[in-house]
Amino acid sequence: MKRIVTCLFFLALITSCQDSGNITFEALALANSICKECPEVTIEVPKALGTNKLAKSINLALQEEVISKLTFDDEINAETIQEAIESFTNGYFELKKIYPDETIGWKAKINGMITYEDDELLTIELQSYLFTGGAHGYGSTNYLNFSKKRGKEMEDWELFEDKEGFEQYAETQFRLQQNIPVNNPINSTGFMFEKDHFYLPENIGFTEKGLKLLYNQYEVASFADGPIELTLPYKDIQKFLSGNIKT
């Protein structure tokens, strides 16, 4: 039904041996074959070169994220990005069989970039946009944080020495940014936190400007409000971070 076009080109080069945890990257670009009715799929993500534990962890995590976003055909157990693109394409054509006059062309665009790197950490931001019919598409951003020394992806709870203290500090800064009076409920100005209680977002990532907290659309606000972001400077939050993290 379609052909996958793959091209590799250099994205970044980190001049250090891989044994020290530094990684050389290329950009992996994947696209659907061009045909009149095929869904438009474009993917550009970093690909870590080499065979060490960190490189394998990065590539596996990115692959799993892309697959999870594109898999629409339950009959295909996608194990590669190419198979996920097939699933996305098959999902479109199956729906078109049922609603031949109503199905608008689907689109999927996924881009990945490195937002932060030091001797200890590497963070990759994954931006996605999917349109599968309806009034509008859906965009989202995900952060993947990696420990270089351990050669693995970090869970959010591993980022903090004092998560409770960080959450309290983040709420104070969130209220200041969003003009929510300190004595009022967190949803008093229109937010939609569950149980009217502040909580950290699903996506937390390291950037050059600070630690970014990102609530994707629908997470705590309406679609029209778009994503809600809060970036906290490292100098203000270092005491809350894990002792293994020195920004």
Query: Do 147 and 160 lie in a common domain?
Result: no
Among 77, 85, 79, 78, smallest CA distance to 110 is for 85
Tell me, yes or no, whether 163 and 194 share the same domain: yes
Single-letter amino acid, residue 242: S
Do 204 and 82 belong to one domain?
no
- pLDDT per residue rounded down to tens, the chain (247 residues): 434 333 333 333 333 334 445 788 999 999 887 677 889 999 999 999 999 999 999 999 999 999 999 987 666 688 999 889 988 988 898 888 888 887 788 999 999 999 999 999 999 999 999 999 888 899 999 999 999 999 999 999 999 999 999 999 999 999 999 999 999 999 999 999 999 999 999 999 999 999 999 999 999 999 889 999 999 999 999 999 997 777 7
Are 29 and 120 contained in the same domain? yes
77 shares its domain with 97: yes
Both 148 and 185 in one domain: the answer is: no
| Domain residue limits at 224 | 156-240
3-state secondary structure of 225: helix
Residue 245 maps to a domain: no
Residue matched to tokens 């932060």:
116
In sign, the C-alpha dihedral spanning 241, 52, 24, 19 is positive
What is the reported pTM?
0.86
Q: What is the pLDDT of residue 205?
A: 97
What pLDDT is recorded for position 10? 36
Same domain, 22 and 144: yes
pLDDT given at position 130: 95
Could you tell me the two tokens for 38? 């095929």
Q: Which SS3 state, helix, strand or coil, does residue 74 take?
A: coil
Q: Are residues 122 and 78 in the same domain?
A: yes
- Specify whether 32 is located in the same domain as 136: yes
Asked whether residue 172 falls in the same domain as residue 118, the answer is: no
pLDDT of residue 6: 38
Contact, 72 vs 87, CB < 8 A?
yes
Q: Are 68 and 48 in the same domain?
A: yes
Domains held by the chain: number: 2
Residues 79 and 149 in one domain: yes
